[in-house]
Structure 1
Amino acid sequence: MAEQEKGMSIFLDVFRRADKNDDGALSLEEFGAFFADGVITDEELGNLFRDIDTHKTNNLDTGELCTYFSHHLGPFKEMFGALEDLNHSMTKALNQSAQQYPTASFIEQFVSRFLMREMLNQLVAVQKPVETASDFIDEKAIKERSGISQASVSVDVQGETPGAVPGWLGRRARRQYSSQYSTGSEGVPAVDLW
């Protein structure tokens, strides 16, 4: 892929999580299983898949997925760029901390633990309003579309499929399994920290 637009590495992670058979392409089934949100219908998902499939191969590649979303980011474009930078900085800081912690003084170890807890507190403070807004718009969309047969949402959690769940619940479960923070920005696995 040519020079990647800022913030698009997030969608490489989306692609990796959606590509359940790791063949480098998203089938309609993989696309539907990942993107179904309890609001959109199977037919609408199929139409969206065909819109994104500009190569007309009946499979999506990372370029098609990134191109589609890059044209629809709107006010989120800057945020995805910031998240990409945050991921890179966090990975670097955690790797350095993991390497230095065992030989650091007792006080330096205390400071590392404090800074890590505070980093977590700050991330949670940012997460809460996004989660609240996301849940609100999902619930509103579900109410507006009641009576329409939405695509079922199933969450594959390490090989287990707990069944159809509303979109916001499914998304919440999938968030926990994002590999975005398990690899560095160059795709290098992060150090097993502790």
Structure 2
Amino acid sequence: ISVVLCCLSDDGKLSFDEFNAYFADGILTTEELQELFYSLDGQQNKYTMIFGGFSRHLIHRRILNVAILEAMNKTKKEYQDSSVLGQFVTRFMLRETSSQLLSLQMSLQCAMEAVEEQSRPAP
């Protein structure tokens, strides 16, 4: 399965400058990003970019997003029909889940920073 990343600007095309602005991570050089850009867009048509190599990771993220949205919808429906106690428990669980997600977000940020630091060439 290929994932198509639509253009970032309103002109209907994805230029290298747009690609660079979005994906530059401070680790890859402009030349490396350019090589990546042209390798991902094998036909170099600039209208769409085919991200076959990223599709596996994006599919897992999409599955997680769908599962979370389905759980939220189910919670909303159950909340409306719950007793006062049931609604209280739901609100409490949502706050706890939110706290856990924030904690995970901080851990992910630290991991990203560590990986980026390891990826930078030594001075």
TM-score computed with the length of structure 2 as normaliser: 0.74
**Counterpart check, 1:140 vs 2:105:** no
Cα-to-partner distance string for 1:75-106 (whole Å, 9 max, x where unaligned):
xx5x962x433211210121233344345321
Q: Indicate which of 16, 40, 44 corresponds to 2:28.
A: 40
2:53 matched residue in structure 1: 68
In structure 2, do the counterparts of structure 1 residues 20 and 94 end up closer, same or farther at CA, with 3 Å as the change threshold?
farther
**Larger Cα Rg: Structure 1 or Structure 2?**
2
**Aligned residue-pair number:** 123
Deviation digits for residues 134-172 of structure 1, max 9, x if unmatched? 101213334x265xxxxxxxxxxxxxxxxxxxxxxxxxx
Partner of 2:19: 31
Structure 2 distance, partners of 1:118, 1:138, is: 30
Q: Distance in 1 between matches of 2:81 and 2:9?
A: 40
Corresponding position of 2:46: 58
Deviation at 1:122, TM superposition (A): 3.3
Q: Residue deviations 1:12-51, cap 9 Å, x none?
A: 6xx36x724383x532122111100112222221121111
Give how far 1:57 is off: 1.2
Which has the larger share of helix? Answer: 2
Counterpart AA for 1:39: I
In the aligned structure 1, how far is the partner of 2:33 from the partner of 2:8?
16
Alignment-derived partner of residue 117 in structure 1: 95
Q: Are residues 1:97 and 2:87 paired?
A: no
**TM-superposed deviation, 1:54:** 1.0
Q: Give structure 2 stretches of 5+ with no counterpart.
A: none
- Once residues 18 and 82 of structure 2 are traced to their aligned partners in structure 1, the CA distance between those partners, rounded to angstroms, is 46
Note closer, same or farther for the CA distance 1:145–1:59 as it changes in structure 2 (3 Å cut): farther
Name the SS for the 1:96 alignment partner: helix
Give the TM-score of the pair, scaled to structure 1: 0.51
- Quote the offset at 1:124 in angstroms: 3.4
Write the letter of the residue equivalent to 1:37.
D
**Unaligned stretches of 5+ in structure 1?**
6-10, 147-194
Question: Which residue does 1:149 correspond to in 2?
Answer: none
The percent identity for this pair of structures is: 30
